[in-house]
Amino acid sequence: MNNDIRELLYKSLDLELTPEERQKLQDALKENPQLHAERHELVRLREALASQKNAGGFPDVTDAVMNGIQGLQTDAGNGQNSIDRYLQSAFRPLLAAAILLIVLLSGINIVKSGEVSLKAALSLQEASITEALDPTLTLLEE
Amino acid sequence: MDEREIVSRVIAGETDAFSEIVRKYQSQLFGVVQHILGNRGGAEDVVQEAFIRFYRNLANFRWESAVGTYLTRIAINLAYNEIRRKTRWLRIFTLENDHVHEISGESKTGYDDTAELIRKAISRLPEDFQKVVILRLIEGYSVKETAEILNIPIGTVLSRLKRAQEKLKNRLSPILEERHEQ
């Protein structure tokens, strides 16, 4: 099939053709059943796509946006506050991860020792608190 | 009230006037963003963020395009960023890489809803093709408006539309034909 005619076919669905172009396409559609069938397929496809448009029923975000803007203004008016908030939000996940790690390691220690106690959780069964806090002492003794 | 007047008032400090812009364009933005995000959710956050970004850059807005055009452009970029972000997390937390299924396979395994098939077929198009299909063929923007929103020439919109329709026709025509006959 002539590529120029196919270009014209697609173009006709989105833009207005010149009288000459329109005539050329109409003649080609009369003569070429394959082109006619392609046009039919395209029209059906476009109708199916157009029917996907949402009719509405979207939530109203006006208040949320205006609150967000108020928040921006507050932050701009108080730079230190905004830095503090940034640091808080940046360190909060780190703090949570550290707590989780401590709980996990303590749990492992308790399971390993088979004893539920602070000593077991900290894995201090065989070492004194001084030794545990100063590992170099243990190394020197060895 | 004229948009230029609203923008001038907001820049002068009358923040409340900005709500008129939100009310006017939120449905338009939701329409486009929901089609980009599909079933992923998060459209509300993206639309809100688009307005807030516009507000933050209002002083630099040069009226090279209309407010609606500019806002839609911001929303489209944010929506695709959201998809990339979600895809990254999905890749980190799941081992499933082949979450894009073949359309033909889906129709055999229970995907009987035409709307879902169309959505899936669009989601399999390259991003640039998806944008023109959503704006022009679903949301009904003119070719000129589509070109302005995407900041590309009209000729590029037409060529992307043609190639996108060829792909969609190949994938969906048999299904649409079948549904039409039923």
| 3-state secondary structure labels for all residues of B8-54 | HHHHCCCHHHHHHHHHHHHHHHHHHHHHHHHHHCCHHHHHHHHHHHH
Taking the alpha carbons at both ends of chain B, their separation in whole angstroms is 51
- Span B18-75, pLDDT tens digits: 999 999 999 999 999 999 998 778 999 999 999 999 999 998 999 999 999 999 999 9
Q: What is the pLDDT of residue B111?
A: 46
Q: How many C-beta atoms lie closer than 10 Å to residue B84's C-beta?
A: 10
* pLDDT top residue among B110 and A51: A51
Q: What is the pLDDT of residue B74?
A: 97
* Identity of residue B124: R
A interface with B, Cβ–Cβ below 8 Å: 7, 10-11, 14-15, 41-42, 44-46, 48-50, 52-54, 56, 58-62, 64-66, 68-70, 72-73
- Span B60-94, pLDDT tens digits: 999 999 999 999 999 999 999 999 998 877 777 66
Chain B residues closer than 8 Å to A66 by CB? 15-16, 18-19, 22
* Identity of residue B87: T
ipTM attached to this prediction: 0.84
B16 to A73: CB separation less than 8 angstroms, yes or no: no
In this model, does residue B108 exceed pLDDT 50? no
In this model, does residue B112 exceed pLDDT 70? no
- Hey, what are B22's tokens? 């939100």
Q: Which residues contact A54 (CB under 8 A, 6 or more apart)?
A: B30, B31, B34, B35
Which residue in B30, B118, B137 is closest to A58 by CB distance? B30
Residues B26 and A61 sit within 8 Å (Cβ to Cβ): yes
A/B interface, count of CB pairs below 8 Å: 100
Q: What is the pLDDT of residue B7?
A: 94
- Sort A33 into a burial class: Cβ within 10 Å, 0-12 / 13-18 / 19+: exposed
Q: What stretch of H or E contains A34?
A: helix A33-50
CA distance B129 to A58: 25
Residue B98 Cα, gap to closest chain A Cα (Å): 26
Q: Which residues contact B4 (CB under 8 A, 6 or more apart)?
A: B63
Task: Give average pLDDT by consecutive 10-residue segment, chain A, 142 residues.
Answer: 88 96 96 94 95 87 94 71 70 88 87 79 65 62 56
- Hey, what are B77's tokens? 């970029």
Global model pTM greater than 0.90: no
Is any Cβ of chain A less than 8 angstroms from the Cβ of B182? no
A44 to B30: CB separation less than 8 angstroms, yes or no: no
B26 to A56: CB separation less than 8 angstroms, yes or no: no
CA distance B35 to B133: 10
* Identity of residue A27: D
CA angle A37, A50, B21 (to 5 degrees): 150
A52 to B16: CB separation less than 8 angstroms, yes or no: no
- Span B143-177, pLDDT tens digits: 999 999 999 999 999 999 999 999 999 999 888 87
Is any Cβ of chain A less than 8 angstroms from the Cβ of B78? no
